[in-house]
Structure 1
């Protein structure tokens, strides 16, 4: 990530610079992406975090948004059998997201974009944000936009998927190819039920058995597919962000966190 992009991450800034940008009307982005969640043999545990932060940087750049530290622990119950994977309870995760989001808005940010790379996290995040001002917050679900869905349907050659699969691996080949080891990519067997529950690497008789932890066929992934998926995803995110920004009142007064006055 380049130096300029890094200037939107508040952890790289001094507190008074963050204060000046908030007072100037900055939107905030809160990325959600696991740092300890298995992604097969070929992707690192922090795959979701990598995606969350790189996508947040792309979204932040044209609007000068401030990016808060990524929420790296979340509700990921399907993967806990695999070493290193962790999961909070849904209620704990919901409370964490709500408290962080409330703090960001209380600090004076005009609006908040919660960029969510998960699937099991979607419902708890929705509940957390439902208690906040709907005009100030937006839940960005990276896999649900119409452009991404069309691209995924057109590109996918796998018979099933949803985790560390052809699509996610292709996206990682576009975002962070140095973190992908295609030599270790391994397809999962066709599961005996359409939607998997908790995946297992130990019980080969389970309907949710996956030795590697992948659900789908990552061996079909390519960087070319990833570039198409990334462009579609960013198109969806840009459209969603523009819709929220258009609803923000012009010239809205905000508290200056430095002087405690209104500008």
Structure 2
């Protein structure tokens, strides 16, 4: 029986510093091909252009979010073990749904997402809602591996700045999601091939731009929550390691 996947000491240090970890080619074989085929068929047969804004703000293929072939990307690939290892000795809650995000090829009237952190104050939520998580896992299912092909852009280390912002300049319910200095940044593009995986701290600000390629950029996302996240969520906005018992001691003095 293969050993469960774990994070090395260098990777843990990088996650503390950057808030992001990348594993190339982690998802492969039938687990990847079945998920790609499922979403590809949905785009061909069930996609409704009139719902593009709703898909972009929430999820494409919403009727498939609990499909076994999508959940297998997390449950049967080693990702579940990696998620558990990052939070150890705390435990994550079970993952029961996937979110599909697609950046359609250039020409589609698709909204551009500005820098933000998820679940704090989104256009499709009530301003007072707080729908956060501990970290997110993204799996590339399809698309070009260039910065202008609808790639996710993120700010390495931005979780430190966001923690200070939430501690000093933000109140629950305000519409502004990021401070001006974060909002003005382009971020680093996650240039990736199908099967590559990104793990990103909830507080890392990110955006998604226009896809100028001829191929849809398709991502499957899984939101991972500490078992006590509902009780810790508000405090975790200003304490980025509250939900990571083993990583708190790695944070450099002077960082959030």
TM class by smaller structure: under 0.3
TM-score by length of 2: 0.26
Larger radius of gyration: 1
Structure with the largest fraction of helix: 1
Structure with the largest fraction of strand: 2
